[in-house]
Amino acid sequence: MKKMRGKPDLTAFLEGGAGDVADKAHRDAPKPAAHAADEPPVPTVQKLFRMRWDIAKALKDAASAESVPGHRVTETEIVERLLKQHFGIDS
């Protein structure tokens, strides 16, 4: 019967990895404030629906047209804005 080898010691590998430096820098970076302290985050849900191709293309074109360097406007933002306007939702 063959004897099984033991597990290798990975301590040196784990402690000397270059990826740890990048991870540490990423963890230590200040995080932007997403919400005010007195304002809880608004939960979101995923909605999946189909629409005519010409409406989808117009939505995509509008998102592209509204986007400027440094600020990307998404199709979701446009749909949310229009639905809030339609239903009279403030926020």
In a domain, 23, yes or no: no
In a domain, 38, yes or no: no
In a domain, 15, yes or no: no
In a domain, 29, yes or no: no
Provide the domain count of the chain. 1
In a domain, 17, yes or no: no
For residues 61 and 34, give the distance between their C-alpha atoms in angstroms, rounded to a whole number: 28
Range of the domain at 59: 44-91
In a domain, 66, yes or no: yes
pLDDT-derived band at 16, boundaries 50, 70, 90:
confident
pLDDT per residue as tens digits for the range 51-62: 999 999 999 999
Which residues lie across from 71 on neighbouring strands? 68
In a domain, 83, yes or no: yes
pLDDT, residue 18, reads 63
Characterize 19-47 residue by residue with b for buried, 16 or more Cβ atoms within 10 angstroms of its Cβ, and e for exposed.
eeeeeeeeeeeeeeeeeeeeeeeeeeeee
